[in-house]
Every structure is written in structure tokens, then in C-alpha cells.
Amino acid sequence: MGPMIKKHTLVLSFRSKLCDTSTEECGRSCGRAGLLKLSADSNQRSSQVTWQKILPDGERTVATDNLHFGQRVDPYFSGKVEFRDAGLQNTSILIRNLTEQDEGRYRCMFNTYPDGALTATICLNVHELHEPVLHVRESNSSEEVVVSCSATGRPAPTVTITLPHQDLNFFHNSSVSVRNNNSTVTVTKTAVLSRRHDNSTQVTCTVGVAYGVHKEVFKMIPEVKKSGVNSSSRSRTSIIILSALTTCGIITAVVFLWRRHKPQNRSI
């Protein structure tokens, strides 16, 4: 289960003079609210504004604003959709807590005089992006580390691993995508990095989906300390050898003293 997404209100506006049919595409994050907004030409008198959602099998009326009967939201969208701008020249509806089911095409139709029905369409794309996860682990060689970064989103997120130093390279780059049951996609990128001997290295993972939504994490990779490792190894070896020689010397001395003071058998 992904992290809970906070609810926010985010304005999504599209203005048109509605002289003919027009289309606008835009995207918003899951859990947020989308405000769909349209304006009619001030020279056109409107008697009714109708918002519809375009479905594969036809259209479904979302809300209407009538000159004589006022505003009405279809019971199916009750609690989900509400009018924000009151008026037949400027109209907007707020869709709360966007989910995947809210994605699609919305049509706004002005019934005007004398031009008749003027329409515009907004294509609402709902995207989702969770926090990326960056892992750094040792490889079989002390000179290398394995870096992996994964992100889950909808549509499939892009995953990019970057380094601040141009003299460092990634080897064996690989990328795997897994489609989840909730229509999100998890993308994992893995690479092997050669470690530096003189300094620590910062590795950065940047993930993103359409409409400019990006997230970033980073970790530090410590430098290789070969000299310290060799020195420590030599010290341990020296201690072991010295201990062994000392033990042998003590045993030799004990044997020598024992033989020297051993009583001699006398013949009668």
C-alpha cells in the first residue's frame, strides 16, 4: 500500500471564448482537487451551462446551471463535484479528491442566443507518484558498489541515477518495470558504481511522471581506504606471529629448566 496522499485544492483553469469547439489537456495529482473553469464571450447571452463527462458509451451529465432553475449537481456526483463560479458567462466546477476514476474528457456546453450551443472539452489526466527508494550495497569487489533506485507511479515514472563526478562511471545498467494491480507501475533501475579512493561520492536518484512532477533522493558512498585496511591487517599478523614466538620461547625455557634440575639416578 502506497503512502497516504494529503488532500489539497489545486486550480486547473482553461479559458476560451467558445466561438467553436476546442480542447485542452492537463494533469493533476491523485488526492488533489481539480477546478475546471470556462468563460463565454461577453457578447453571447447564455441561458444554461451544462457540464458532462464523456464516457465510452456516451455522455453523463455532471452538473447544470440554468437561468431559471439555478444550479444542480447530478446525484451520482453529489459530494464529489460542486460549482465554484456562479454565473452563465463564467463557470467552474470543483472535483474533490481526484482518483483514477475521475480521469477522462469533460465537456462544457453553453446554450447561447443567437449562436446556439457552444462547447469546449477538457481532458483531465490524473497522475500518481510515490517517494523513490534508493539503496546502496556492497558488491563482490571492494572497489565497487551496487546502486538501485525504484519508484512507483502512474503513468510509469522515469528513474535517473546521477553522479556529481564525470570521472565516475556506471557499469551494467539495467531497468525493470512491474505493472501493479492498481494500474501503477514500479520501475527499478540498478547499476554498479566504481568507488573513489580519495573522497566520498554522492549518488542521486531523480524520478518523475508527466506534467513536470519530480521527486529526488540521494545517499553518500564512503571512499575506499585500502591503506588503512592493509595496515590493520599487517598489525594483526604481526601480533599473531609475536604471540606464537613468545609461547614457543616460554615452552623451550620450561623444558630446559626441567631437564637441568631433574634428579640423576645413582647406581649402587
pLDDT value for 138 = 82
Evaluate if residue 207 carries a pLDDT over 90. yes
Among candidates 145, 166, 154, which has minimal Cα distance to 125?
154
Q: How many residues does the chain have?
A: 268
pLDDT value for 1 = 40
Give the DSSP H or E segment for 185.
strand 185-194
pLDDT value for 85 = 75
What is the Cα–Cα distance from 83 to 85, expressed in whole angstroms? 6
pLDDT digits (tens, 9 = 90+) for 208-267: 987 667 899 998 887 766 544 444 555 566 567 666 666 766 776 666 566 666 555 544
List residues bridging with 213 in a β-sheet.
209
The CA-atom distances, in angstroms, between 12 and each of 39, 113, 120 are 13, 28, 15
Q: Which residue has the higher pLDDT, 115 or 104?
A: 104
Evaluate if residue 13 carries a pLDDT over 50. no
- Percentage of residues of the chain with pLDDT beyond 90: 27
Using alpha carbons only, give the angle 123, 128, 133 rounded to the nearest 5 degrees: 155
pLDDT value for 200 = 77
Q: Which of 4-13, 153-162, 204-213, 232-241 has the lowest mean pLDDT?
A: 4-13
Q: Which residue has the higher pLDDT, 239 or 139?
A: 139
pLDDT value for 8 = 28
Predicted TM-score of the model (pTM): 0.59
Over the chain, what is the mean pLDDT?
A: 75
| Cβ contact 60:52 at 8 Å | yes
Owner of C-alpha cell 626441567: 258
Name the range with the highest mean pLDDT among 46-50, 198-202, 246-250.
Answer: 46-50
In the structure, what pLDDT confidence band is assigned to residue 112 with cuts at 50, 70 and 90? confident
| Cβ contact 88:48 at 8 Å | yes
In the structure, what pLDDT confidence band is assigned to residue 14 with cuts at 50, 70 and 90? very low
Q: Which residue has the higher pLDDT, 34 or 58?
A: 58
Evaluate if residue 86 carries a pLDDT over 70. no
Using alpha carbons only, give the angle 222, 223, 228 rounded to the nearest 5 degrees: 115
**All domains in the chain, ordered by first residue:** 33-124 (2.60.40.10), 128-221 (2.60.40.10)
